[in-house]
Amino acid sequence: MKQAFRTGLDRLLDDASLRGALAGRRVALLAHPASVTPGLSHALDALDALPEIRLTAAFGPQHGLRGDKQDNMVESADFIDPRHGIPVFSLYGEVRRPTARMMESFDVLLVDLQDLGCRIYTFITTLRYVLEEAARHGKSVWVLDRPNPAGRPVEGLTLRAGWESFVGAGPMPMRHGMTMGELARWFVAHLELDVDLQVIAMGGWQPEAAPGFGWPEDRAWINPSPNAPNLAMARCYAGTVMLEGTTLSEGRGTTRPLELFGAPDVDAEALIATMHTLAPQWLAGCTLRACWFEPTFHKHAGTLCSGVHIHVDTPAYDHAAFRPWRLQALAFKALRHLCPDYPLWRDFPYEYEHKRLAIDLINGSALLREWVDDAGACPADLDEIAGRDERAWAELRREFLLY
């Protein structure tokens, strides 16, 4: 008989024995808008309703505890929660790491964050930072685990030493194939942290089961960040996030952000044809459709763009074959073939980094950009480097998997 799916939060709320160790201790919660129960109550409200849990603080990551900020690099302020009367500390405002004053507000930090399965998603970095600070201050961290909607596949270059940033928490590939609880276990080992970590595991998670391949059919999708509106975006994100480091629109300002890309001066049909010529094997598992879109804000706002929509919501979708990072890299390469001098790389401050190009920060090295810009480099060259990284990570992560 199939076991009913339950998140770590569900299990903590349902099982008093799991909550026993919280009795008499001050509890804080790190959460965001997708931190909800099956009935769609926010975790903060659900936990506060339990008489044995004493909530003394809450923390919000990028975009806020309740989801108050639309774009990247828009900070949130600390505030007092109007319903519960506790301080809500921003970890994407004046600080990225919790301060000593913040750490003094609790004994146990519950972390309930829905991830997208991609290294650049900043909730992973926030998880690392709170684990490091908990180790310094002798605090406990409980990760209430949630699904990785992108599932178990691994893809992309591993972040190189010296390239750590707020969008690069450690030496993992772009698509890591782990849950937040599993990543917490890896961080503790990788960083050699002396910290009291507990993972409240999910029940009944089946990452290989169709049609969700990581996302349970019976759960509503709540945006973990404003431009993460659906499962299709989560599947594409490990590739389309690279568009943030380019002059191409990633669909922000449309209803399908990070599923499509383009620009006013791109010939989408020619681009798709060139991609098929260069590396048709990198386009497996999805359907590409030439389209037109006009962003209402962000890059190319108010201008009609020729673009490509990556469809992973049709019967043609093949979870094991789909490789979004290679697909997006191939789109860049194809654009270089069509327009060698195209001003592709966007030079701007990205996540508070001013000296290194955003595309390099995103990929954790300059390797991807250099491959795109090298007219003599072919898909097999990138495949060789990335393949080594992917195989090494798949082996390394094995001991930290819980499901």
Residue 208's pLDDT is 94
Question: Are residue 150 and residue 287 in the same domain, yes or no?
Answer: no
pLDDT digits over 379-393, tens only? 999 999 999 999 999
Question: Are residue 152 and residue 15 in the same domain, yes or no?
Answer: yes
Residue 73's pLDDT is 53
400 lies in a domain?
Answer: no
pLDDT digits over 180-227, tens only? 999 999 999 999 999 999 999 999 999 999 999 999 999 999 999 999
pLDDT band at 129 (very low <50, low <70, confident <90, very high): very high
387 lies in a domain?
Answer: yes
CB 159, CB 172: distance < 8 Å: yes
Given 203, 225, 247, the domain boundary residue is 225
Question: Are residue 43 and residue 143 in the same domain, yes or no?
Answer: yes
Question: Are residue 220 and residue 236 in the same domain, yes or no?
Answer: no
pLDDT band at 256 (very low <50, low <70, confident <90, very high): very high
2 lies in a domain?
Answer: no
- Extract the tokens encoding 29: 């919660």
DSSP-derived pairing of the beta strands 196-200 and 140-144: parallel
Residue 351's pLDDT is 81
Across residues 280-303, what is the average pLDDT?
Answer: 97
Question: Are residue 211 and residue 248 in the same domain, yes or no?
Answer: no
Across residues 19-42, what is the average pLDDT?
Answer: 96
Residue of 311, 362, 293, 292 lying closest to 332 (CA atoms): 362
Question: Are residue 263 and residue 169 in the same domain, yes or no?
Answer: no
Q: What is the mean pLDDT of the chain?
A: 95
pLDDT digits over 217-230, tens only? 999 999 999 999 99
Question: Are residue 208 and residue 65 in the same domain, yes or no?
Answer: yes
Better-predicted residue by pLDDT, 68 or 399: 399
- What is the total count of domains within the chain? 2
Across residues 290-309, what is the average pLDDT?
Answer: 97
CATH for 219: 3.40.50.12170
202 lies in a domain?
Answer: yes
Phi, psi of 308 (to 5 degrees): -125, 130
pLDDT digits over 59-112, tens only? 999 988 987 655 555 667 889 999 999 999 999 989 999 999 999 999 999 999
Q: Does the pLDDT value for residue 240 go beyond 90?
A: yes
Q: How many residues does the chain have?
A: 403
Given 225, 252, 267, the domain boundary residue is 225
Question: Are residue 148 and residue 54 in the same domain, yes or no?
Answer: yes
Q: 294 vs 35, 260, 335, CA distance in Å? A: 32, 12, 20
Given 177, 198, 225, the domain boundary residue is 225
Residue 193 CA to residue 187 CA, distance in Å, equals 8
Q: 371 vs 11, 73, 82, 116, 374, CA distance in Å? A: 46, 28, 51, 26, 5
Distance of alpha carbon 127 from the chain centroid: 12
CB atoms within 10 A of CB 27: 23
50 lies in a domain?
Answer: yes
Q: Tell me the whole-structure pTM to 2 decimals.
A: 0.95
Q: In what order do the strands lie in the sheet with 108-112?
A: 79-80, 87-90, 54-60, 26-31, 108-112, 140-144, 196-200
Residue 3's pLDDT is 81
- The residues, ordered by sequence, that sit 6+ positions from 64 with a Cβ below 8 Å of its Cβ are 32, 33, 76, 90, 92
How much of the chain, in percent, has pLDDT values that exceed 70?
A: 97
pLDDT digits over 98-126, tens only? 999 999 999 999 999 999 999 999 999 99
Q: Alpha helices of 241-363 — where are they, by DSSP H?
A: 268-278, 324-338, 358-363
398 lies in a domain?
Answer: no
347 lies in a domain?
Answer: yes
CATH for 253: 3.90.1150.140
Phi, psi of 177 (to 5 degrees): 70, 25
267 lies in a domain?
Answer: yes
Question: Are residue 378 and residue 350 in the same domain, yes or no?
Answer: yes
Going 49 to 65 to 213 to 400, the CA torsion angle's sign is negative
Question: Are residue 159 and residue 296 in the same domain, yes or no?
Answer: no
Question: Are residue 182 and residue 304 in the same domain, yes or no?
Answer: no
Would you call 269 helix, strand, or coil by DSSP?
Answer: helix
Note down the domain range covering 384.
231-393
pLDDT band at 6 (very low <50, low <70, confident <90, very high): very high
Amino acid present at 398:
R
Question: Are residue 237 and residue 218 in the same domain, yes or no?
Answer: no
pLDDT band at 354 (very low <50, low <70, confident <90, very high): confident
Name the burial class of residue 353, with classes exposed (0-12), middle (13-18) and buried (19+) by CB atoms within 10 angstroms of its CB.
middle
Residue 87's pLDDT is 94
